[in-house]
Amino acid sequence: MKTHLDPARIGAILDSLRGGRVVVVGDAMLDVFVFGQVSRISPEAPVPVVRVTKETERLGGAANVALNVTSLGGRATLVGVVGDDLASKRLSRVTRDCGVAARLVSIAGRPTTVKTRVMAHQHQMVRTDREASDPIEPAVEAKLLAQIARVLKKGSALIVSDYQKGVVTRPFMRAVIDLAETRGARVLVDPKVRNIGFFRGAFMVTPNQKEAEQISGILIRTDEDAERVVRRVAQLAGTEGALVTRGEEGMSLGLRKGRSFRYWHVRSAAREVFDVTGAGDTAIATLALALVAGAEPYEAMVISNLAAGVAVGKLGTSSVTVAEIRAGQ
């Protein structure tokens, strides 16, 4: 069904976001943006020469999800891995500056994930990645699980942010989901396609349209197609439901109801799409926080859609505030 919320109800949910507790587990990253200007081609090779004018560091991956929780007034704890390197110290500093509580396990010999984007005249010229994607060892899984156990409280939510950098493994997810069940915390997952079978028992997965089509083997052209995809994704994931983010078409949600599914759709709230980087992080962070605040799942989808509409109007990985959501209604 098409979903519409009264502005008063939207306002009430937004008012309730403050103070909600969300634990974010997954692949934490540091996003570096190097800004500059291009006025000539290099004499060494046919490539533009970027004269650097500014450099910024932002939270990326699971860390950006946690940032979005915090920017909406929630209380976020980030659990993940870093290397024993300078980048880990930079990532820790940025999390502190952003008000994100970080419980990061350091692994000797493993680089902290850093994505560096070189930007000129509002265009990305090149991106460099420093990362390792091999699965974490059982000893590291145990340390991460201990950190989660210390901070996951009844009534909170747990987000798994899978960027396929090694933190999300089948045994670790089994342990995380079992722990969340004992604490009465819902688990929401932003999954990668090849790991979709790792999340049985979680509340919901939130793939984007391309990922959902790859998982289900079904192309989305209509809302009816989206409903078939949502159901198939939830079945393959072993979750209570699934939410598919569909870009300019909005979002589609399906939840189990006995032997059947119930579906909801909402159209995109974006006024102008500038950059989709990090929009999925914003969407799942808002969704989880709204659920913690007591919103029904379809209501949380509407709030999440509004937040994502704000996020795509910004450059690079970004966070969204309640004031910006209100202004964008």
Tell me which of 27, 31, 190, 281 is the catalytic residue. 281
**Is 61 in contact with 161 (CB distance < 8 Å)?**
yes
Query: Is 281 labeled as catalytic in the residue annotation?
Result: yes
User: Exposed/middle/buried for 206, CB within 10 Å: 0-12, 13-18, 19+?
Assistant: buried
Cα 38 off chain centre by: 33
Angle 62-71/279-292 helices, nearest 10 degrees?
A: 50
Integer Cα distance of 217 and 214 in angstroms: 5
- CA–CA dist 304, 290 (Å, integer): 8
Phi-psi region of 284 (alpha: psi -120 to 50; beta: other; left: phi over 0): alpha
The interaxial angle of helices 62-71 and 86-97, nearest 10 deg, is 20
Q: H helices within 252-328, ranges in order?
A: 279-292, 297-311, 322-328
123 in helix, strand or coil?
strand
Q: Which helix (H) or strand (E) holds 82?
A: strand 75-83
Give the C-alpha distances (Å, rounded to integers) separating 199 from 177, 195, 278: 8, 8, 22
**CA–CA gap between residue 145 and residue 268 (Å, rounded):** 36
Catalytic residues, which ones?
Answer: 281
